[in-house]
Amino acid sequence: MSYNVTLIPGDGIGPEVTEATKRVLEATGVAFNWEVAYAGAGALNTHGTPLPDYILESIRKNKVALKGPVTTPVGSGFRSVNVALRQRLDLYACVRPCKLYPSVPSLYKDIDIVIIRENTEDLYAGIEFEKGTPEAAKLIKLITETKGDAIRADSGLSLKIISETGSRRIVRFAYEYARAYQRKKVTAIHKANILKFSDGLFLASAREVAQEYPDIEFEDRVVDNMTMQLVKRPQQFDVVVAPNLYGDIVSDLCAGLVGGLGVAPGANIGDDIAVFEPTHGSAPKYAGQNKVNPMAMMLSGVLMLRHLGETKAADRLEKAIARVISEGKNVTYDMKPDAPSDQTVGTSQVADAVIEKLESSK
C-alpha cells in the first residue's frame, strides 16, 4: 500500500528540511506518492496567488499533507499562507508536542508537554481594519456610540473572535487526545480576568467540556502566570489547551524548554484532513546553506506516520532520531551551541545518520 500525500516544500529553509524528511520517511519502508505543490511568493509569481486552489484540492483529495515553512511578509504584502491554509481547510487543532529527548541541551529534565492550540479564531481570524480607512472610521464611530469609550481616530483595529463552538471543539479535541495517549491532565490557558467575553467564554466552555471527562484532571491558568510556571516547573504540565495567540506564543516557549525550534514538531488537524509541519518558520537567513536542523520536520513526519496508523514505522523513526541526538555526533549547530563548527553537521548529514540508524534497526 502506498499513501498519497501532498508535499509542500515551502521556502527559506523549507525545501532542505523537507527533502531530508522525505528521505527518512521513505527509509522507514512505508511507501508514499508525493504530490508536490508550491505555495508562497513563488506561487504568487506563477499563479497570481500565494495559495493556489490546486493545493487545497490536492490536500482535500489526499486528506494528508506534509508542509515546510512558508515566509509571510511582515506588515504589508500577502497574508499568511499558513494561517489561510488552516482556515480554508478548517484545521482547527494545532498539536505541538514538546518532549525532551535525552542529551538535548536544555536547562530541564523530564518534559513531555503537548500544546493543543486553537487554529482558526482569536486575533488570527484576520478581521482587521487599517488606520485611516473608512471601515476603521465606521467601526470606531460604532464603538464610541455603543460603548461610550473614546478610541483614537488614528487607531488600527484587529478583532479577537472567540466562539463557544470553536472553544468547545478544541477543548473536546484536547480531551480526546489526552484519552487516546493516556494523558492525565488538561490545563486550559486564558486571560479571562481581563477579556471577560472572549477568553471568559473559552474558559466557561472548557469547564463545561471537562465535566464530560471525569477520568482526566482539569485545571486552568491565566496566561501570564502560565508562562512563569512553565519556566519554573514545566514538569507539572501534561496536555495544554489554548486559544490561538496564547497557543502560538506558549508553544514557542515550550520548544525553547526542550532544545529549541529545531526539534519542535507540529500538526494541524481538522475533522478529516491533517497537515503536518514543524513549529519553526522559514528562517530565511539560513536558506540554502545545508545548516539547520531537520529534526522538527522529521518529528512532524513521525506524527504523520502515527496519524496514518503506521505505528511501528513511527516508533522506529522516532527512536532513530533520538539515537542520533543522544550520540551527539551527527547533529546540527543548534544542538551543540558551544561546539566549534567542525563538530556539527549539516541538514542532509543528519538525514544520512537517521537513515543509518533505521537500517541498523531492521
Phi, psi of 105 (to 5 degrees): -65, 120
**Whose Cβ is closer to ligand NAD: residue 82's or residue 167's?**
82
Q: Please, which residue, 37 or 296, has the CB nearer to ligand NAD?
A: 296
- State the pairing for strand pair 2-8/64-67: parallel
- Return the bridge partners of 33, or none: 4
Q: Does 120 bind ligand NAD (CB under 6 A)?
A: no
Query: Out of 261, 275, 320, 358, which residue is the one contacting ligand NAD (CB under 6 A)?
Result: 261
Tell me how crowded residue 235 is: count the other CB atoms within 10 A of its CB: 12
Site for ligand NAD in 2-31 (CB under 6 A): 17
Stretch in the footprint of ligand NAD (CB under 6 A) among 1-9, 23-31, 57-65, 279-287? 279-287
Short-list 330, 326, 319, 329, CA closest to 360? 319
The answer to whether 69 contacts ligand NAD (rule: CB under 6 A) is yes
330 touching ligand NAD, by CB under 6 A? no
DSSP state of 122: B
Nearer to ligand NAD, 16 or 121 (CB): 16
**Selected binder of ligand NAD within 6, 72, 251, 300 (CB under 6 A):** 72
Nearest to 210 by CA among 221, 218, 222: 218
Smaller CB separation from ligand NAD, 106 or 155: 106
Q: How far apart are CA 261 and CA 104, in angstroms?
A: 12
Q: Which is nearer to ligand NAD, 70 or 223 (CB)?
A: 70
**Which range touches ligand NAD (CB under 6 A), out of 68-76, 104-112, 164-172, 184-192?**
68-76
262 binds ligand NAD (CB under 6 A): yes
Which residue in the shown chain puts its C-beta closest to ligand NAD?
281
* Binding flag, residue 281, ligand NAD (CB under 6 A): yes
- For the chain, strand residue ranges (E) read 2-8, 31-36, 64-67, 93-99, 112-118, 128-129, 157-158, 185-190, 217-222, 239-242, 267-269, 274-276
In the list 6, 21, 28, 282, the residue contacting ligand NAD (rule: CB under 6 A) is 282
Interaction between residue 86 and ligand NAD (CB under 6 A):
no
How is residue 87 annotated by DSSP? H
State which of positions 215-234 bind ligand NAD (CB under 6 A): none
**Nearest residue (CB) to ligand NAD, 68 versus 243:** 68
Residue 256 neighbours by CB distance under 10 Å: 16
Query: Where does this chain touch ligand NAD (CB under 6 A) — which range of 122-130, 143-151, 276-284, 354-362?
Result: 276-284
In one letter, which amino acid is 199?
Answer: D
**What's the DSSP call for residue 198?**
T
Binding of residue 70 to ligand NAD (CB under 6 A): yes
By beta-carbon proximity to ligand NAD, the closer residue of 147 and 285 is 285
SS3 content of the chain, % helix, strand, coil (to 5): 45, 15, 35
Q: Which of 334, 349, 351, 358 binds ligand NAD (CB under 6 A)?
A: 334
Q: Where are the alpha helices (DSSP H) in 93-243?
A: 134-147, 164-180, 199-210, 223-232
Among 118, 121, 277, 310, binds ligand NAD (CB under 6 A): 277
Instruction: Give me the least distance between CB of 200 and ligand NAD, in Å please.
Output: 29
Shortest reach from residue 265's CB to ligand NAD, in Å: 11
Catalytic site positions: 124, 191, 224, 248
Q: Is 116 in the site for ligand NAD (CB under 6 A)?
A: no
**Which of 257, 334, 287 minimizes the C-alpha distance to 71?**
287
Least separation in angstroms between CB 329 and ligand NAD = 17
Burial of 77 (0-12, 13-18, 19+ CB in 10 A): exposed
For the record, the C-alpha cell of 312 comes out as 511501528
Q: Contact, 240 vs 313, CB < 8 A? A: no
Q: Which residues bind ligand NAD (CB under 6 A)?
A: 17, 69-72, 82, 261-262, 277, 280-283, 285, 292-293, 296, 334
